[in-house]
Amino acid sequence: MPHARRLAAIASLALLAAVSAYAGPLQDDLIARRSRVMEQLSPETLAIFWSAPTRVYSHDVEYEYRQDSHLLYLTGIDQEETILILMPGNPVRREILFILEPDPRREHWNGHRLTPAEATAQSGIETVMTVKEFEPFIAAMFSRQPRGDAAEYDPFLSALEAGRAKLALLLEPQQNLSTPAGPARRFALDLRERFFGFTVEDARPIVSNLRQVKTPYEQEIMRKSVAISSQAHKAGMRAAAPGKFEYEVEAAIEEVYLRNGAMTWGYPSIVGSGPNATILHYNRSSRRMEPGDLLLVDAAANFQGYTGDITRTYPIGGRFTREQREIYEIVLAAQEAGMKAVSAGAPTRDVQAACDRVLRAGLVTLGLVIDPEGQQFKIWATHGAVHMIGMDVHDVGNRRAFEPGMTFVIEPGIYIRQAALDALPRTAENVAFIEKVQPMVDKYKDIGVRVEDSFLLTTGGLERLSSAVPRTVDEIEQFMKKF
């Protein structure tokens, strides 16, 4: 065998060995995800997906890298400066991945870069090029002078010649004309200045809608992710005690993430005690917890790119006061009502409406609201009760009806803050309201309660993924009695 052919054979065997070493359910799922995207793109389309940029934390120090969720969904590659091209009309080379070229000097500082064989093994994409080849490739495509076999790209090139080709990008939302165009829009504008024969379309709805319904593989990863988060919440409950600081609870939670292979949080942990429990996105974790406080903990791990979302509220010292229990039972009943409203084909707004009915009635009963019909209760119940979860804690997708495979939360909450009354305009109606409810606000002041669980809708019904974390008053008090 000639030397060149022998080297090629060795390289081919090395690639096959790498693929076999990494091939598995994830790679199969990634291939299927890309196929579903291409099924919704015309064969005359060239689609481009970029990795997230690196971000500077301070001076010459960068934040820990977080890949763009859409690119991670399609490739499984979490390395910066990665680009995916999909050309669904090509007979063979429908997927092309561009990655950073090897650089021993930079790898000495920042670690190993994927080789083409490793990128293929990780993503299932056979054609891998370097990022330096991306712009020449694009220029060759849009000037209709491709390198290599032109017939491979004929569906796109013919469409370009006929003026009906499409360039699909993840276009950034454009709120108004004065907002600067984002990177994808700028790329499209630059390309339009140089080439003709194509229109630009937004690929974001296609990928977002696919991501909203989790594949069986994704469902299993979500279960594992939420299981780690559930274990972490129980560790936090064990660490909570009078005299300790909020950050001690946060540390106990996040230690469980790392110990179980979830290398980071899915969102910054919220650990708020006493009045801090009424701050929705409190992130200081600096207060010393006092006897009689409620502690609200909203935290979840990122495991293999997927995060759940769990909130528990529990008493420091182990027992709810009467006032705390009264608020807690309303919130818990609202969540239960929301759970009953979930079914395949039901709109998500039905869950919100079910939660709202219970919250409104409960707050009227306690004297914190005087209007039994309207939106007055929103003074204390300030956020929505449903959002999707997945690769992002507030995952993508529109408010379409529930389908099996969707993962989401139900998270009603009540937050009694004097500042909410103080901020009301002093109309005659509001003054009368304030005078009526002020004694009850004084009674329940600084009580903040949120109960949030991660759910998966299956063909068999609703699965509460975070069921391992104590949730009812009795479950919480029994659990905390042990520590």
Question: Does residue 39 register a pLDDT over 80?
Answer: yes
- Residue 45's pLDDT is 98
Collapsing DSSP to helix, strand or coil, 367 comes out as coil
Question: Does residue 230 register a pLDDT over 60?
Answer: yes
Banded pLDDT at 455 (limits 50, 70, 90): very high
51's tokens: 């990795």
For 325, phi and psi rounded to 5 degrees? -65, -40
Average pLDDT on 370-396 reads 97
Contact criterion met (CB below 8 Å) for 194 and 433: no
- Residue 148's pLDDT is 85
Q: Say whether domain 214-480 belongs to CATH 3.90.230.10.
A: yes
Q: Name residue, tokens 């939420």.
A: 226
The predicted-structure confidence for 418-447, as pLDDT tens digits, reads as follows 999 999 999 999 999 999 999 999 999 999
Average pLDDT on 114-123 reads 97
Angle at 349 between CA 408 and CA 341, to 5 degrees: 70
- Residue 475's pLDDT is 98
Distance CA 93, CA 86 (A): 9
In single-letter form, the type of residue at position 118 comes to E
- Residue 155's pLDDT is 96
Average pLDDT on 399-423 reads 97
DSSP class of residue 316 equals T
Contact criterion met (CB below 8 Å) for 459 and 406: no
Q: Helices (DSSP H) in 134-215: which residue ranges?
A: 134-142, 154-162, 183-194, 204-212
For 306, phi and psi rounded to 5 degrees? -125, 140
The C-alpha R_g of the chain, in whole angstroms, comes to 27
CATH of 3-209, one of 3.40.50.720, 3.10.20.30, 3.40.350.10, 3.40.50.300: 3.40.350.10
- Residue 424's pLDDT is 97
Average pLDDT on 215-229 reads 98
Question: Does residue 17 register a pLDDT over 70?
Answer: no
For 92-129, b/e burial (b = at least 16 CB within 10 A) is: eebbbbbbbeeeeeeeeeeeebbbbbbbbbbbbbeebb
Banded pLDDT at 149 (limits 50, 70, 90): confident
3-state helix vs strand vs coil in the chain, percent to 5: 45, 20, 35
240's tokens: 């909570």
For 408, phi and psi rounded to 5 degrees? -160, 170
Neighbours of 421 (CB within 10 A): 15
Beta bridge partners of 50: 83
DSSP class of residue 265 equals E
Cα-Cα-Cα-Cα dihedral sign, residues 208, 210, 212, 216:
negative
- Residue 9's pLDDT is 41
- Residue 18's pLDDT is 42
Contact criterion met (CB below 8 Å) for 273 and 245: no
Beta strands at 306-307 and 407-410: parallel, antiparallel or unpaired: unpaired
The predicted-structure confidence for 74-89, as pLDDT tens digits, reads as follows 999 999 999 999 999 9
Distance CA 445, CA 48 (A): 52
Average pLDDT on 271-295 reads 97
Question: Does residue 346 register a pLDDT over 80?
Answer: yes
Question: Does residue 137 register a pLDDT over 70?
Answer: yes
Of the chain, the percentage scoring pLDDT greater than 90 comes to: 92
Mean pLDDT of the residues in the chain: 94
Distance CA 361, CA 416 (A): 16
Higher per-residue pLDDT: 183 or 13: 183
Going from N- to C-terminal start, the domains of the chain cover 3-209, 214-480
Neighbours of 182 (CB within 10 A): 14
Question: Does residue 176 register a pLDDT over 90?
Answer: no
For 141, 159, 162, 165, the CA distances from 156, given in Å and listed in that order, are: 8, 5, 10, 6
- Residue 206's pLDDT is 97
Question: Does residue 397 register a pLDDT over 90?
Answer: no
- Residue 482's pLDDT is 79
